[in-house]
């Protein structure tokens, strides 16, 4: 067994590998860029080596620097995590040549599965179901149309070197096939330097289900059940679960056995994933093989009780698998939500900056520990006060729950999301909460088109309906009442000027453009009952009890005997006197006042925000990579004005109306904040 390993990665996956290495008594070496010098993985590792500037192409993607760091520190093996160099056959081979163990598959396995066209040929030869289609590069758009007709519409046009949704088109007729081939080829050439394109049958109402495999260097391969990954947004997974609520035992067994056939065909050693597209009739076809650890591996760890990182390390050290297929377990139900630094209410634009508050929900499961299951686990590479840089992926944490069944797992996840405090940047937690509450998700009736269908107009606050909206008003009144009780208990108050508690309040829920909701609330006296109150809203009674402190963001308690977790803050940017209440993904801003004050508040005129239409504002924090206009230039509506880049995403800003540029207020190369002014028109 190794005594020291280097982790050629960053963020939560680097921390994940360190946790298992520490459990096994193995020392760890972290590598980091200049942007990551204060990062959590650097602090957790036994040693850390600086490998270059912030940009990954100058640090985490430079094999020479990583191998030099391994040699300098005496690391005998390298774990690549996922992303960066994890599926780079040359890097795996180079490690081998340098006498360093690669904690992953052999280079020839990575190479065989890295090319989408060649991998399909290999899979077919191994006896794996493949989608009807043409697996050789197509030369012309006319030929593409002819082939598409032969297969039968709809068809999928894909770039051989594509990934992450790039170089992919779906065609339903000859015209779409002709145009789709041309644009797909151009995009592939520009993005990957490889313009080979192939065509295959498009499976309608498809589900994305993958099989986890594990092989050793002695020829043993097992499958560790499946993961359901159909909840995707723009081909990026959002929620994953294990097992799948859709497939039958017979389908599970058939998919697993085919995945093992493919792994054996490429002499696969280590953990890997065989991805399938599954039709509504449970027909399944091979998509691709990921020759690395997957982001969503924790759900498999929860239901099988196996530490996949430990298994990878043991296989790389030459050990045999210690169990056979018959020993693989499937206990309970696990769900993972990816918590991303993005603003769901601004079309999921990246959100970077300092984490002013980062408090995870209470954890009972931990990385590298497969003994304490049926709880909540958080995998993250960040911490309170840390910085979310603009140079890397937007995922900042993974929230994993394990329940006895799917119903319990969903309930645990909703409660865990309620307790996940993230401030300073925006996160997709409200979106995750909405997905978990959606009737079609709860029933298991979804496919890969679910998010595009249900949120075709984007995601809005109205898309998160609360089970009981009056509970939010009751919670606001509860917190305000407890604050008044504390104020009333202060000594030294002047007679006649002391704080009066009262029992009747009005909760004013602040709406858009002055459309506020006024809710009368009655609070019953509970003399001597610290942390308790009985609140009546619209004829419903809420008996709330909580021992959380008044300055806590996260409030934990019971309502009518049922436990709840919510988040409450005093003061918002719009109104320093308002309370912000957040529960089950719904967020309200409310003023709690006396009935008379509420009457007067209703008489206050609405003050419209200033007209900013003559400015081009930055919609997200990021790097200004281009300003396409200059002072005095005439610009037409829809014309390109500027380009901002953050978290591997490029955002082009266009002029909203015709005009003449009066002032350029930001320079190329400048780091921008949200709503920072870039250009002003006359």
| CA Rg value for the chain | 28
DSSP 46: S
- The residue extents of the domains of the chain are 4-103, 133-201, 207-451, 469-488+500-602, 615-681
Q: How many residues does the chain have?
A: 682
The tokens describing 539, both together, are: 């004829």
Q: What is the pLDDT of residue 165?
A: 61
In this structure, which topology does domain 615-681 adopt according to CATH? OB fold (Dihydrolipoamide Acetyltransferase, E2P) (2.40.50)
So what CATH class is 207-451? alpha beta
Q: Does domain 4-103 have CATH number 3.40.50.20?
A: yes
Q: What is the pLDDT of residue 63?
A: 96
**Helix/strand/coil (H/E/C) assignment for every residue in 297-330:** HHHHHHHHCCCHHHHHHHHHCCCCCCCCHHHCCC
Residue 53 vs residues 56, 74, 257, 391, 486: alpha-carbon distances, Å: 8, 23, 45, 10, 52
11 prior amide bond cis, ω within 30: no
Return the active site residues: 288
Q: Yes or no: say if 298 and 378 are a contact pair by the CB < 8 Å rule.
A: no
SS3 state of residue 599: helix
Q: Which of 597, 590, 589, 653 is nearest to 620 (CA)?
A: 653
Kindly write down the DSSP assignment for every residue of 84-95, as one continuous string.
Answer: TTTT-HHHHHHH
Q: Yes or no: say if 499 and 488 are a contact pair by the CB < 8 Å rule.
A: yes
In this structure, which topology does domain 469-488+500-602 adopt according to CATH? Glycoprotein, Type 4 Pilin (3.30.700)
pTM over 0.85: yes
| Cα–Cα dist 153/35, whole Å | 48
| Cα–Cα dist 105/267, whole Å | 9
**Helix/strand/coil (H/E/C) assignment for every residue in 160-199:** EEEECCEEEEEECCHHHHHHHHHHHHHHHHHHHCCCCEEE
| Cα–Cα dist 45/65, whole Å | 18
Beta bridge partners of 540: 537
DSSP 341: S
The tokens describing 486, both together, are: 């504390």
| Cα–Cα dist 585/419, whole Å | 11
Q: Do 4-103 and 615-681 show the same overall fold? A: no
Residue 440 CA, chain-centre distance (Å), reads 20
Q: Which of 90, 84, 82 is nearest to 108 (CA)?
A: 90
Q: Yes or no: say if 242 and 332 are a contact pair by the CB < 8 Å rule.
A: no
Beta bridge partners of 649: 646
Residue 267 vs residues 86, 316, 341, 664: alpha-carbon distances, Å: 18, 14, 38, 59
The tokens describing 579, both together, are: 């309370």
Strands 395-403 and 333-340: antiparallel
SS3 state of residue 403: strand
Residue 664 vs residues 617, 624, 645, 670: alpha-carbon distances, Å: 11, 12, 18, 12
Question: Which CATH number is correct for 133-201, 3.40.50.300, 3.40.630.30, 3.30.1490.20, 1.10.287.10?
Answer: 3.30.1490.20
Q: Which of 244, 238, 563, 581 is nearest to 412 (CA)?
A: 563
Along the chain (682 residues), what's the average pLDDT of each consecutive run of 10 residues? 97 97 98 95 97 93 97 98 94 97 97 88 94 84 93 88 73 93 85 82 91 97 98 94 97 98 97 95 93 97 98 98 97 98 89 91 96 96 89 92 98 97 94 96 96 92 86 94 82 82 90 89 78 93 92 94 94 81 93 93 86 87 91 90 83 88 93 91 89
SS3 state of residue 595: helix
| CB proximity list for 573: less than 8 A, separation 6 or greater | none
DSSP 361: P
């Amino acid at each position: 067994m190794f005594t020291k390993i280097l982790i050629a990665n960053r963020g939560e996956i680097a921390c994940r590998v360190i946790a298992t290495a520490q459990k096994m008594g193995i020392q760890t070496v972290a590598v980091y860029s200049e942007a990551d010098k204060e990062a959590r993985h650097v602090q957790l590792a036994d040693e850390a080596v600086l490998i270059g500037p912030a940009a990954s192409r100058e640090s985490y993607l430079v094999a020479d620097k990583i191998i030099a760091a391994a040699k300098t520190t005496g690391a005998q093996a390298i774990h690549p995590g996922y992303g960066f160099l994890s599926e780079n056959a040359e890097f795996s081979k180079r490690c081998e040549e340098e006498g360093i163990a690669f904690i992953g598959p052999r280079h020839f396995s990575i190479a065989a599965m890295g090319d989408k066209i060649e991998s399909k040929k290999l899979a077919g030869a191994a006896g794996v179901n493949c989608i009807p289609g043409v697996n050789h590069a197509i030369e012309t758009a006319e030929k593409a149309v002819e082939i598409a007709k032969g297969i039968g519409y709809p068809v999928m046009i894909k770039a051989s070197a594509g990934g992450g949704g790039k170089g992919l088109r779906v065609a339903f007729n000859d015209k779409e096939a002709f145009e789709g081939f041309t644009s797909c080829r151009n995009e592939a050439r520009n993005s990957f330097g490889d313009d080979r394109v192939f065509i295959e049958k498009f499976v309608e109402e498809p589900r994305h289900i993958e099989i986890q495999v594990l092989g050793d260097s002695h020829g043993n391969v097992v499958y560790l059940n499946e993961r359901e990954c159909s909840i995707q947004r723009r081909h990026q997974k959002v929620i994953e679960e294990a097992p799948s609520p859709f497939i039958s035992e017979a389908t599970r067994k058939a998919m697993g056995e085919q995945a093992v056939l493919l792994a054996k065909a490429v002499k696969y050693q280590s953990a890997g994933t065989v991805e399938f597209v599954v039709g509504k009739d449970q027909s399944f076809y091979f998509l691709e093989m990921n020759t690395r650890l997957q982001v969503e591996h924790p759900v498999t760890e929860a239901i099988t009780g196996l530490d996949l990182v430990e298994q990878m390390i043991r296989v790389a050290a030459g050990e045999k698998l210690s169990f056979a297929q018959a020993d693989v377990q499937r206990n309970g139900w696990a769900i993972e939500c990816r918590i991303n630094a993005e603003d769901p209410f601004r079309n999921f634009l990246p959100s970077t900056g300092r984490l002013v508050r980062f408090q995870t929900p209470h954890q009972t499961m931990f990385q590298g520990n497969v003994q304490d299951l049926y709880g909540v686990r958080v995998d993250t590479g960040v911490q309170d006060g840390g910085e979310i840089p603009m140079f890397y992926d937007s995922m900042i944490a993974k929230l994993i729950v394990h329940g006895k069944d799917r119903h319990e797992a969903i309930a645990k996840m909703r409660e865990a999301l309620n307790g996940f405090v993230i401030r300073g940047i925006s996160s997709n937690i409200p979106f995750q909460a909405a997905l978990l509450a959606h009737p079609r998700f709860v029933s298991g009736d979804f496919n890969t088109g679910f998010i595009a269908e249900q949120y075709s107009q984007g995601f809005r606050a109205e898309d998160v309906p609360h089970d009981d909206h009056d509970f939010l008003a009751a919670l606001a009144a509860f917190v305000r009442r407890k604050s008044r009780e504390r104020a009333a208990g202060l000594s030294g108050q002047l007679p006649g000027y002391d704080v009066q508690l009262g029992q009747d309040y009005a909760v004013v829920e602040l709406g858009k453009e002055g459309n506020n909701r006024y809710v009368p609330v009655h609070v019953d006296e509970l003399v001597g009952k610290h942390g308790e109150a009985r609140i009546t809203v619209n004829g419903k009674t809420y008996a709330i009890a909580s021992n959380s402190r008044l300055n806590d963001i996260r409030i934990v308690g019971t309502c009518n005997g049922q436990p709840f977790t919510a988040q409450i803050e005093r003061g918002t940017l719009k109104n320093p006197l308002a309370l912000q209440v957040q529960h089950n993904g719904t967020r309200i801003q409310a003023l709690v006042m006396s009935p008379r004050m509420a009457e007067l508040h209703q008489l206050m005129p609405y003050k419209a925000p200033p007209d900013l239409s003559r400015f081009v504002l930055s919609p997200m924090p990021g790097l200004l990579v281009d300003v396409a206009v200059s002072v005095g230039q005439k610009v037409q509506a829809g014309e390109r004005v500027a380009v901002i880049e953050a978290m591997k995403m490029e955002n082009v800003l266009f002029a909203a109306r015709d005009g003449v540029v009066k002032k350029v207020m930001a320079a190329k190369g400048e780091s921008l904040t949200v709503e920072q002014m870039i250009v002003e028109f006359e």
